[in-house]
């Protein structure tokens, strides 16, 4: 039987004639009773709609949670016929309905849809617990039917990934990685082979706001970008906004990647873990007070370096190379109306060659949040957020003896009110204040060192924002959300600030005392979105969003590097601004089995930053003298077809896009392709559940090669051949494509213990994709020059073992 | 046990970092020829040489013929320009100029109807104190590196270029450093060579090493600092032409510098 219980009953209600036929299949009395109740209620509601005017309204509110582990559910849908809402980021919902009987249908991706029959005679609190789909296998597959992307929500340009979806997708070296999974979605492009960096709709890598429990993560990669800092075991929900960002988000031009950590199981203690080829993970969670409060600790560490330690050769066993992540979270219910969350992340990479050289870098974040519910319609959240990124280089080689320390640190306070005014309006009001401290580099050198001790100028800034937005259900078919975010970015002394002329020469230096205001940039950021329901299964949406960015990443490399440097806007470096309009069409096909999304966008960007030829970004002093400024534009069309039910699930995503820059001083001031410009991007992701034991998965990726600068000629200087470049990014890397395969086998699935083995092969047909193309004198014939392509990662197999102890 | 761990470690290294290289053919656009100028004026031997060549298309050979018939002059601290004579095609020299520390030299070239100019000030001479070879071990491999010692003066703005010759063969790596981080200090700097495991490039016992130290001006320093972007490697910053100190649209540089050298035998 390929239909879920709920969905069969729904059909029965709609087609009473079928009722008798299905009776034999579902000959359980409870079902009969349920169906009859439902039928009765529908009739009542049908009548009552005629008398809807003049009726009193009441509010039902509460929290939606998973029954199994008590995790609050984000984005769960709660509806009664045509009136509905979704739970917020803390699982809270508030729904105002007319007096009388209602059937509330509560659904969330991957969980069993529940129905709740209520008769509203007063305002009340109702917490809801949704069950997992784990009765038997057929049902698992079928009842995972989510209700489809919300057609009515005005939100567009958004993609949500559940950790469940993430589980089965094959990954490089078997490391599950959210940042790599999102790269399989339309409009989100990988920064390169095996890289966790990404570009969204033509934006640069630094234009993504990456949040972990609201705290910005400034360098989200490990091991030179091959792995992200997010341990998938600790993550509950990942949402990417590519456009139409709601007003509560701001600070980056291209996207918001909002990652929420698990709260921890408040029902039972759980230990789970995995042993992979390059890392091992352990996750411990459990209740502090059953059903009320819980904790979670999750850790991951790579262990390639442990092999080094086994060697007898000191030139091998002296070396260090590892990274680790530690996530911890605690949530505590103070009262029915108050809940406290404390969460933290700490991760670090360490690389060392004996005592000679050491490099370590890492992020630390901390978030303290207090949810308070006022009455039935007002939800408040107060957050105190800390975020830190730093790196340190130690060199102890004779006279080359110094330590370099660099840091960016934020203190951030936020207050937000969500006001579920009535069934037509849902209002958010918030304020946010961030203090940024940047230490570009502190060099500490010994007396005997060749180097001077030196502190690069520290930079201080204060970023304030206030926003208000309203989601307005204007008519049955039309929903409009509108809002505005006002930002004020203040640059604070002390330090020297420069005037720089068009040639990059410093013309004036002004000194500011500590605490003195240098400049404030005010920017209004309007946000507007609308959705219009065409019929029951399709809708159109449109959105306009302006984003402003005051922190800019300065990097001398195309891949992520730990020494990439964040700088704030100055009197010369203006805030980056982007305006994006997008239009989309959404359709649920074949009874919600498939979902089709098509979105098109145009984005214009101002005050984009590039580098002068020969720029040295590690100088002390006027970094402005190394930079050039200009505009950008990006446009494209994205399509996503997703199959959500059945033994075979997955999606096909396609992006056609163009991304250009026009910078004064580059490419003769003409438009040129941005490095991340790719014409076509295709991803095909398939997961197949063969039986209870085995599941298989595969993904195939194709994209047009990046825009790059290749030489147009060559010449000789100092008896060496050098290459002559004419335009910026006028050539393309070869097209990229690759197939990855994966299989998972369930070994044991007992009540208290389950385990599985996962296999994968990355780049299964061994395509040699160009990682770099270099030009050099030919090795065979030095009188010639040649182009040499380097490829990484061919047929990379992996195996990992995962277990869970309940 | 040792062999087992070594196998384990090498398997990991292979999995992670194994890369395959192959020569590919790329259709690169042809381009208009541009002039390439190398102007050098040293304090030693009264030597001033200017070489003029042109760019070629990528697929042509690496023989860069000199450009004849140019009028090349150099003036010393604003005095009357002295013309250089063409000794071989494209090579222009004179011994009439005595490279003097602190003097500013102006190069002027007329060739093919175009004019190129540049100036360079010969910086103070900072003495090359000594050389030594240091051996370090990395993942079981030994690498020998030449270290140079000098004392940077108290004034800022000093820059240095080192040229390494191994058994009279010039090392292609460009060694360049300025005093941004080392101003006024006794400096020891290693001349690292990233040799891609090329055995021929490694220093071995008995090799005769000669190091030439040039004290260079900021314009030529910037040129050498930025020349890395034109070496043909695409994985770092965006490839670009180095920042020339010549105006008029030529590639290349003009450098008035001091020259000194020291040698040693690797033991």
Cα angle A545, A547, A551 (rounded to 5 degrees) comes to 165
What's the whole-number mean pLDDT along residues A347-366?
87
Asked if residue B257 lies in contact with residue B214, where contact means CB atoms within 8 angstroms, the answer is yes
Q: Cβ separation of B62 and A782 shorter than 8 Å?
A: yes
> Tens digits of per-residue pLDDT, A431-460?
999 999 999 889 998 888 888 888 888 999
A53: confidence class by pLDDT, cuts 50, 70, 90: very low
A651: confidence class by pLDDT, cuts 50, 70, 90: very high
- Contact list in B for residue A399 (CB cut-off 8 A) is 186-188
**Is residue A24 scored above 50 in pLDDT?**
no
pLDDT of A327: 93
pLDDT of B236: 57
Q: Cβ separation of B9 and A399 shorter than 8 Å?
A: no
Q: Cβ separation of B20 and A790 shorter than 8 Å?
A: yes
Asked if residue A101 lies in contact with residue A45, where contact means CB atoms within 8 angstroms, the answer is yes
Average pLDDT, chain B: 85
What's the whole-number mean pLDDT along residues A642-647?
86
**Is residue A767 scored above 50 in pLDDT?**
yes
A145: confidence class by pLDDT, cuts 50, 70, 90: very low
**Is residue A627 scored above 60 in pLDDT?**
yes
CB proximity under 8 Å: A 559-578 to B: 559
What's the whole-number mean pLDDT along residues B115-133?
94
> Tens digits of per-residue pLDDT, B28-65?
888 889 999 999 999 887 689 999 999 999 888 888 99
Cα A462 from Cα A569, distance rounded (Å): 11
H-run or E-run covering B225: helix B218-226
What's the whole-number mean pLDDT along residues A209-233?
87
> Tens digits of per-residue pLDDT, A369-394?
999 999 888 999 999 999 999 999 98
Cα A723 from Cα A721, distance rounded (Å): 7
pTM of the model: 0.86
What's the whole-number mean pLDDT along residues A473-498?
92
Average pLDDT, chain A: 84
Query: Under DSSP, is residue A207 helix (H, G, I), strand (E, B) or coil?
Result: helix
Give alpha helix (H) positions in A168-313.
Answer: 178-181, 304-309
Cis amide bond preceding A494, omega within 30: yes
A491: confidence class by pLDDT, cuts 50, 70, 90: very high
Tell me which of A180-184, A190-194, A320-324 is least confident: A190-194
Nearest partner of A493 among A510, A507, A480, judged by Cα: A510
What separation in angstroms does the CA of A365 have from each of A210, A233, B38, B252? 12, 17, 53, 49
A233: confidence class by pLDDT, cuts 50, 70, 90: confident
H-run or E-run covering A45: helix A29-48
Count CB atoms within 10 A of the CB of residue A400. 18
pLDDT of B95: 87
Classify residue A133 by its DSSP letter. S
CB proximity under 8 Å: A 611-670 to B: 611-614, 616, 619-620
pLDDT of A328: 94
Q: Cβ separation of B9 and A675 shorter than 8 Å?
A: no
Query: Under DSSP, is residue A139 helix (H, G, I), strand (E, B) or coil?
Result: helix
Tell me which of A484-488, A613-617, B252-256 is least confident: A613-617
Predicted-assembly ipTM surpassing the 0.85 threshold: yes
Q: Cβ separation of B26 and A773 shorter than 8 Å?
A: yes
**Chain A: closest CA distance from residue B98 (Å):** 22
A319: confidence class by pLDDT, cuts 50, 70, 90: confident
Q: Cβ separation of B62 and A777 shorter than 8 Å?
A: yes
pLDDT of A559: 65
More confident residue, A584 or A615: A584
What's the whole-number mean pLDDT along residues A321-340?
91
pLDDT of A463: 95
More confident residue, A162 or B185: B185
A35: confidence class by pLDDT, cuts 50, 70, 90: very low
Q: Cβ separation of B186 and A399 shorter than 8 Å?
A: yes
**Is residue A800 scored above 60 in pLDDT?**
yes
pLDDT of A138: 36
pLDDT of A22: 37
- Contact list in A for residue B54 (CB cut-off 8 A) is 715
Classify residue A6 by its DSSP letter. H
What's the whole-number mean pLDDT along residues A645-669?
91
Backbone torsions φ then ψ of A306, nearest 5 degrees: -65, -30
**Is residue B255 scored above 70 in pLDDT?**
yes
Extended strands (E) in B89-225: 91-94, 104-111, 114-121, 128-138, 141-151, 159-166, 169-170, 175-178, 186-190, 208-216
Classify residue B56 by its DSSP letter. B
Asked if residue A352 lies in contact with residue A358, where contact means CB atoms within 8 angstroms, the answer is yes
What's the whole-number mean pLDDT along residues A27-41?
47
**Is residue A168 scored above 60 in pLDDT?**
yes
- Contact list in B for residue A173 (CB cut-off 8 A) is 15-16
Residue of B nearest to A277 (CA): B12
**Is residue A166 scored above 80 in pLDDT?**
no
Contact of A749 with chain B, judged by CB distance below 8 Å, is answered with no
């Amino acid at each position: 039987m390929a239909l879920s219980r709920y969905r069969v009953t729904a059909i029965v209600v709609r087609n009473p004639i079928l009722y008798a036929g299905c009776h034999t299949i579902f000959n359980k009395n409870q079902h009969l009773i349920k169906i009859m109740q439902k039928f009765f209620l529908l009739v009542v509601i049908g009548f009552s709609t005629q008398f809807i005017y003049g009726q009193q309204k009441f509010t039902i509110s509460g929290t939606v949670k998973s029954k199994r582990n008590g995790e609050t559910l984000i984005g769960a849908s709660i509806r009664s016929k045509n009136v509905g809402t979704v739970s917020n980021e803390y699982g809270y919902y508030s729904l105002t309905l007319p007096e009388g009987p209602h059937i509330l249908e509560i659904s969330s991706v991957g969980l069993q849809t529940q129905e709740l029959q209520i008769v509203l005679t007063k305002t009340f609190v109702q917490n809801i617990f949704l069950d997992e789909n784990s009765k038997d296998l057929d049902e698992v597959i079928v009842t995972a039917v989510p209700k489809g992307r919300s057609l009515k929500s005005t939100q567009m340009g958004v993609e949500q990934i559940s950790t469940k979806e993430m589980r089965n997708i094959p990954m490089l070296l078997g490391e599950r990685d959210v940042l790599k999974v999102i790269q399989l979605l339309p409009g989100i492009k990988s920064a390169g082979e095996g890289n966790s960096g990404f570009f969204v709709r033509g934006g640069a890598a630094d234009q993504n706001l990456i949040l972990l429990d609201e705290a910005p993560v400034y360098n989200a990669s490990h091991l030179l970008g091959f792995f992200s800092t997010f341990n998938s075991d600790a993550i509950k929900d990942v949402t990417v906004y590519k456009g139409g960002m709601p007003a509560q988000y701001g600070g980056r031009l291209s996207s918001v990647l909002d990652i929420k950590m698990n709260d921890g199981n408040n029902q039972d203690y759980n230990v789970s873990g995995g042993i992979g080829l390059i890392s091992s993970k352990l996750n411990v969670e459990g209740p502090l007070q059953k059903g009320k409060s819980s904790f979670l600790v999750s850790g991951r560490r790579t262990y390639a370096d442990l092999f080094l330690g086994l060697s007898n050769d000191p030139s091998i066993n002296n070396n260090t190379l590892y990274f680790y992540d530690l996530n911890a979270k605690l949530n505590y219910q103070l009262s029915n109306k108050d809940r406290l969350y404390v969460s933290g992340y700490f991760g670090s990479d360490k690389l060392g060659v004996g005592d000679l050289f050491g490099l370590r870098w890492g992020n630390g974040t901390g978030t303290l949040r207090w949810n308070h519910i006022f009455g039935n319609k007002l939800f408040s959240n107060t957050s105190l957020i800390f975020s830190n990124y730093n790196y340190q280089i130690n060199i102890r080689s004779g006279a080359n003896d110094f330590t370099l320390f660099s840091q960016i640190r934020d203190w951030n306070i936020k207050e937000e009110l969500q006001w579920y005014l009535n069934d037509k309006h849902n209002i958010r009001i918030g304020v946010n204040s961030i203090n940024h401290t940047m230490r570009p580099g502190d060099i500490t050198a010994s007396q005997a060192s060749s180097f001077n001790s030196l502190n690069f100028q520290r930079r201080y800034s204060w970023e304030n924002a206030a926003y208000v937005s309203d989601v307005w259900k204007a008519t049955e078919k039309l929903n409009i959300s509108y809002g505005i975010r006002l930002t004020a970015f203040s640059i604070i002394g002390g330090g020297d600030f420069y005037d720089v002329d068009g040639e990059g020469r410093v013309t004036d230096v002004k000194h500011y005392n500590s605490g003195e205001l240098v400049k404030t940039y005010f920017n209004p950021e309007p946000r507007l979105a609308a959705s219009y329901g065409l019929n029951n299964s399709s809708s159109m949406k449109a959105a306009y969003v302006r984003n402003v960015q005051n922190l800019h990443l300065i990097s001398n490399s195309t891949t992520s590097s730990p020494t990439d440097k964040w700088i704030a806007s100055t009197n010369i470096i203006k805030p980056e601004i982007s305006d994006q309009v997008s239009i989309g069409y959404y359709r649920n096909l074949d009874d919600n089995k498939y979902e089709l999304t098509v979105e098109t966008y145009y984005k214009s960007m101002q005050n984009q930053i590039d580098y002068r030829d020969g720029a040295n970004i590690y100088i002390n002093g006027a970094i402005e003298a190394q930079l050039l400024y200009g505009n950008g534009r990006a446009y494209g069309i994205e399509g996503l077809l997703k199959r959500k039910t059945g033994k075979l699930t997955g999606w096909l995503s396609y992006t056609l896009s163009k991304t250009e820059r026009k910078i004064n001083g580059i490419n003769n001031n003409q438009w040129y392709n941005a490095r991340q410009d790719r014409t076509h991007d295709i991803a095909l992701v398939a997961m197949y559940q063969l039986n209870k034991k085995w599941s298989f998965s595969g993904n195939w990726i194709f994209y047009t090669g990046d825009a790059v600068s290749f030489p147009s000629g060559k010449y000789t200087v100092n008896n060496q051949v050098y290459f002559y470049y004419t335009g910026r990014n006028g050539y393309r890397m070869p097209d990229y494509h690759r197939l990855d395969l994966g299989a998972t086998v369930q070994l044991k699935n007992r009540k208290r213990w389950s385990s599985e083995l996962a296999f994968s092969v990355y780049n299964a047909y061994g395509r040699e994709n160009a990682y770099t193309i270099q030009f050099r004198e030919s090795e065979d014939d030095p009188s010639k020059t040649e182009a040499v392509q380097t490829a990484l990662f061919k047929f990379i197999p992996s195996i990992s073992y995962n277990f869970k102890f309940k | 046990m040792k062999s087992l761990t070594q196998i384990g470690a090498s398997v990991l290294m292979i999995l992670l970092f194994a890369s395959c290289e192959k020569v590919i053919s790329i259709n690169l656009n042809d381009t208009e020829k541009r002039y390439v100028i190398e102007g050098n004026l040293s304090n030693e031997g009264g030597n001033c040489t200017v070489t003029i060549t042109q760019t070629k298309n990528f697929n042509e050979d690496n023989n860069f013929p000199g450009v004849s018939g140019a009028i090349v002059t150099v003036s010393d601290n604003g005095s009357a320009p002295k013309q250089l004579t063409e000794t071989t095609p494209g090579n222009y020299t004179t011994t009439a100029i005595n490279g003097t520390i602190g003097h500013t030299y102006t190069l002027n070239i007329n060739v093919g109807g175009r004019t190129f100019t540049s100036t360079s000030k010969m910086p103070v001479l900072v003495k090359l104190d000594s050389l030594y070879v240091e051996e370090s071990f990395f993942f079981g491999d030994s690498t020998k590196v030449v270290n140079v010692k000098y004392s940077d003066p108290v004034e800022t703005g000093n820059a240095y270029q080192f040229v390494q010759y191994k058994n009279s063969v010039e090392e292609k790596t460009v060694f360049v450093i300025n005093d941004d981080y080392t101003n006024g200090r006794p400096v020891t700097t290693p001349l690292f060579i990233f040799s891609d495991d090329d055995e021929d490039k490694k220093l071995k016992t008995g090799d005769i090493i000669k190091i030439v130290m040039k004290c260079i001006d900021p314009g030529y320093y910037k040129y050498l600092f930025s020349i890395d972007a034109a070496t043909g490697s695409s994985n770092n910053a965006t490839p670009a032409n180095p920042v020339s100190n010549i105006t008029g649209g030529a590639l290349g540089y003009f450098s008035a510098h001091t020259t000194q050298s020291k040698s040693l035998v690797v033991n």
